[in-house]
Chains A and B, each alone.
Chain A
Amino acid sequence: MNNEINYHQKYRKARSKSVGHAKKVKYVKVKTTALKRGALAIALATMIAISGIIYGGGKLIDTIQTTRIVYEATEYGRNIVLQNKKRTANKQFFYYEIDDIATELLKDPENFDRNLYGVYSSIGYNETSQKEQIEEVVKSVGNIAKLHPELGIDSYENFSDYCRQKGFVKEDGSIDYEAYEKAMKELIVDEMNLQKLQEKVSEFKTR
């Protein structure tokens, strides 16, 4: 039991040191070093013990399966970003063709929310850039949607407006990005499970 408490503490410490957008240092290798005798084995054993004791196998496997499902389901959105990420003429910087991303998103209105999440999860080179770019993408989508109501996409002013209309807002009125991300992952997994069920029913009926 004492060991378990100890590992809980180590887990919380490691997580606290790992998570948070404010943590940022240049990835510069200052030197190389040999670890103390047995140090690597202790480090590995600690990580493995933590993961096993805190979660157990089932939860861990669920977590990684969700990640895989979401990654595959958002491929379309991620590819839109990749194809519309362009270099400046001097090759020093890159930028996004926002209107082209918006146009591509509107080609599949039925899966708009899922594809938008794919764009959200891959655009920008840091959190600030990500938020700025996705605001512009949804603004552009809104402008196009106004001209083409037959697409059935609501005309959002920007990404913040999209989140507000979907209810991803904190008590202080700011956008709750974590709630948005969590809800999208759940939606994608639910959609996949629903699709599997529909296929199962269809297969049964055609026997």
Chain B
Amino acid sequence: MKKEYDVVVLEDGLEYAVIDEITKNGNTYVYLVNVQDEEDFCIRKVVENDTEKFLVGLSSNEEFDEALLYFVNKNNYNLA
């Protein structure tokens, strides 16, 4: 049986599968893959207010690199 992934819709109107969530240093990163194009991916982080959760853009290019590294490390690929 194929694994089912949660799907969210981003600003571009496209559907993205949530393939992972990683919490590091107080931030929860969400790893998203375009359902129609598996090489099209992006990373967002979760922000909560009192009642709702949002997926927001990362703060900087450096944060993108860090979040990418968390993902790579979690998947047991040692780049050192």
Contacts and interface: CB of A to CB of B under 8 A. Distances in A.
B38 A19 contact: no
B59 A35 contact: no
B53 A60 contact: no
Interface stretch (A38-46, A146-154, A155-163, A188-196): A38-46
Given A23-B57, A34-B3, A63-B62, A125 B68 contact: no
A79 B20 CA distance: 28
Given A18-B42, A26-B52, A32-B5, A43 B33 contact: yes
A178 interface: yes
A58 to B, nearest CB: 8
Contact of B72 (A40, A51, A56, A92): A51
A27 B38 contact: no
Given A25-B8, A64-B66, A125-B48, A39 B33 contact: yes
Contacts of A13: 40
B7 A35 contact: no
15 contacts: A18-B44, A23-B44, A25-B8, A29-B7, A30-B8, A31-B7, A34-B3, A35-B2, A39-B33, A47-B68, A57-B78, A57-B79, A63-B62, A67-B24, A71-B25
Majority DSSP secondary structure for residues of A touching B: helix
Nearest to A31: B7
Tell which of A25, A34, A57, A181 has the most Cβ of chain B within 10 Å. Answer: A25
A20 interface: yes
Interface string B65-80: 1111111110101111
B: interface residue count bin: 35 or more
B56 interface: yes
Interface string B26-69: 10001101010011111110111110111111111111111111
A29 B8 contact: yes
A55 B54 contact: no
A35 B17 contact: yes
B8 A19 contact: no
Contact of A40 (B15, B33, B73): B33
Contact of B60 (A19, A24, A92): A19
Nearest to B52: A26
A138 interface: no
B38 A29 contact: no
A35 B8 contact: no
Given A35-B35, A39-B38, A47-B41, A25 B54 contact: yes
A69 to B, nearest CB: 11
A42 B19 contact: no
Interface string A107-146: 0000000000000001001100000000000000000000
B55 A27 contact: yes
